[in-house]
Amino acid sequence: MSDRSISIAILGAGRWGVHLIRNFVRHPRTRVVAVVDPHPERLAEARSRLDDDSSVLLATDWQQLDELRDLDAVAIATPASTHYELILSALKRNWHVLAEKPLTLDPRQCVEIADLARQRDRRLFVDHTYLFHPAINAGKEAIARVGSLRYGYATRTHLGPVRGDVDALWDLAIHDLVIFNTWLGQTPVSARATGQIWLQSQMTEADAIARNLYPQGLADLVWATVTYANGFQGCIHLCWSNPDKQRRLAVVGDRGTLIFDEMAREAPLTFKRGRLERQGDRWIPDDQGTEIIPVGSDEPLAQVCDRFVRWIDDPGAIATSDGAFAAKLVEILNALTRSLQEGGREISIS
């Protein structure tokens, strides 16, 4: 590991970008040397988060980064439709990349930039934050308690934020897909989805790929189902036009249900024990109870930033959330989008 700190630029100082700034400013191995955002008011706010350090470049055009010498990495928190061009350009400049999810809107583009990162020996790391959530890691250890897997369900609703570059499916579903895939240790083989558009029947921020994904507009409500090779189905309810804020996911087995409820701050991970026993011609509930599973208190995004830095320091480290991992999730989202466009037809995933 070099003694020199890793110089990093943050692209995007919006709702998520400010948290990246905060974490990289605090990290002992990184030095924030630039923040890029097309909105001057966001740059002014970023300056205060940088302790008014006048040496940090505040730019409205990311190409101004070419003025910097010895830039090591960029963290990209811009609209998803911009990711491909920005990541491609960064890798061609030999910068390591931490990208917000989804990696791109097209799985073929994901593969292309993942291959380029390998060819140039650069780290391409994607911020799938729930991979690093202490409750999800604890749940991975506890999933065996539910017994034989049966099905799962998730709800992710709130009143906003409403995005103009992707629909509720692409904005929200990736989190629950990450959790299901992590707890099950596998990825879906098919997907289907239905939805409803109320607010944006036309795209306000779009490139050609985005317009192909959303020819009828951006879905505000989506009901998605993913099916795994073992027959397990995960049903996901997604909506950004519902003031009943929920962040809840459960996996059901024949011995109980493992529940991650992010809104339950004191006990986000619980196991509800219980099974049905046959007595004559009746089924009777048995062995019922609730167990709180202890979880750590580490901030997931801090773990994301730290894992990215550690991977730069040690190229042989386990990547966890690299381009290949991200490409699979984009492939699943594309299958769900196709189903959404085709009225809920089940789509196979290779």
pLDDT tens by residue, 277-301:
999 999 999 999 999 999 999 999 9
The pTM of the full predicted model, rounded to 2 decimals, is: 0.94
The percent of residues above 90 in pLDDT, for the chain, comes to 88
How many Å apart are CA 103 and CA 109, to the nearest integer? 9
Question: pLDDT band for position 127 (50/70/90)?
Answer: very high
Listed residue (121, 136, 74, 78) closest to 103, CA to CA: 78
Instruction: Taking each helix axis as running N to C, give the angle between helix 134-142 and helix 168-184, from 0 to 180 degrees, rounded to the nearest 10.
Output: 40
Longest dimension (CA), the chain: 79
If 0-12 CB within 10 Å is exposed, 13-18 middle and 19+ buried, where does residue 105 land?
A: buried
DSSP 94: T
Band (pLDDT 50/70/90 cuts) for residue 205 is low
User: Residue 350: what pLDDT?
Assistant: 82
Q: Per-residue pLDDT for 262 more than 90? A: yes
- As a whole number of angstroms, the distance between CA 44 and CA 40 comes to 6
CA torsion sign for 193, 260, 241, 218 is negative
Rounded CA gap, 311 and 320, in Å?
10
In a 13 Å sphere around the CA of 68, the CA atoms on its Cβ side amount to 24
Cα–Cα distances (Å) from 348 to 122, 151, 189, in that order, read: 33, 19, 6
The whole-angstrom separation of Cα 42 and Cα 58 is 10
**pLDDT tens digits, 162-181:** 998 899 999 999 999 999 99
**How far apart are alpha carbons 125 and 97 in whole angstroms?**
6
Percent of the chain topping pLDDT 70: 97
46 CB-near residues (< 8 Å, 6+ apart): 10, 13, 17, 18, 21, 35, 37, 58
Triad 36, 39, 45: Cα angle to 5°: 75
Res. 202: pLDDT tops 90: no
Output the average pLDDT for the chain.
94
The secondary element (H helix, E strand) that includes residue 42 is helix 40-49
Q: DSSP letters of 156-180?
A: EEEE-PPPSSS-HHHHHHHHHHHHH
- The model's pLDDT over 211-249, given as tens digits with 9 standing for 90+, comes to 778 888 999 999 999 999 999 999 999 999 999 999 999
Q: What is the rounded end-to-end Cα distance, in angstroms, of the chain?
A: 39
Of 170, 169, 158, which is closest to residue 242 (Cα–Cα)?
Answer: 158
Which has the closest alpha carbon to 338: 43, 79, 105, 104? 105
